[in-house]
Amino acid sequence: MKKGIIVASFGTTHQDTRERTIDVIENAIRKEFPDFSVIRAFTSDVVMRRLRDNHGIDVFSLEEAMEQLVFQGVTDIYIQPLHIIGGIEFEKVLRAARDFMKNTGKVIVRVGTPLMWEDRDFRNIVRILTPKDDTPVVLVGHGSRHKADSSYERLAEHFERAGIRNVYIGTLEGKTGLEDMIGYLKEGEHRELVLKPFMLVAGDHAKNDMASEDEDSWSSILEGEGFNVRIEMTPLGEIEEIQGMFVTKMKEVIMS
């Protein structure tokens, strides 16, 4: 019985951050499961199209990745999402897995969970990301219109519960945005802060929306509000312990 793993992420067109994040996690999973066929899939049609049209790079969609594994003779497919929350992209993975099993009738597909899923995930993230000094840290996530956007608030609550009061979690497209961050920072009478991406990769959102010199970036607006901003451009996917969390999630599904 041949088994295969699909490492599924939203994807990125930025090679530099892809090599330090997605590639590394995929290789860690290959190392952990040497007897499995491990392949990549992206869930963003836009990213896949841009890679193909602008860079000549083809990446499997989830459906294509599952078909490729079946072609290789795989009967048991495991998917490990690299998504941060259980939102729209994660639901795409679940839907694709369900439909594929229904339509083929000859393979079993099991899916791991995104980074922020259960309480222990949040506790681990707090432990990993707790600052080493008292300088306030603003973690910038993508955010979502999906109900799973509440995961960012849940993480903030876990930081609070752990007694960590100098970490603020905002989102580009979610409920808690930049205005909220400015309010919290001013309320705490802070003047210096560290701005960090709370995303798998440091792509367009991190480089442009968060850290660029454009007047509408978070760093520019915060500096305009009188804050001294230091940028740390290390995304979650570059942090070894976060990489390990994804490997553990896949291991638990395979072993269950």
Residues 104, 182 within the same domain = no
* Domain with 167 in it: 119-235
Whole-number average pLDDT of the chain: 96
pLDDT by residue (tens digit) across 192-223? 999 999 999 999 999 999 999 999 999 999 99
Q: What letters, b where the CB count within 10 A reaches 16 and e where it falls short, cover 78-101?
A: bbbbbbbbbbebbebbeebbeebb
Residues 208, 243 within the same domain = no
Residues 192, 163 within the same domain = yes
pLDDT by residue (tens digit) across 233-256? 999 999 999 999 999 999 999 998
Residues 108, 125 within the same domain = no
Predicted TM-score of the model (pTM) = 0.95
For helices 119-129 and 240-255, angle between their N-to-C axes, nearest 10 degrees: 160
Q: Of 38, 65, 13, 16, which Cα lies nearest the Cα of 246?
A: 38
Residue 200 sits in a domain of what CATH number?
3.40.50.1400
Give the chain's residues under pLDDT 50: none
What's the total number of domains in the chain?
A: 2
Task: Provide the β-strand partners of residue 168.
Answer: 138
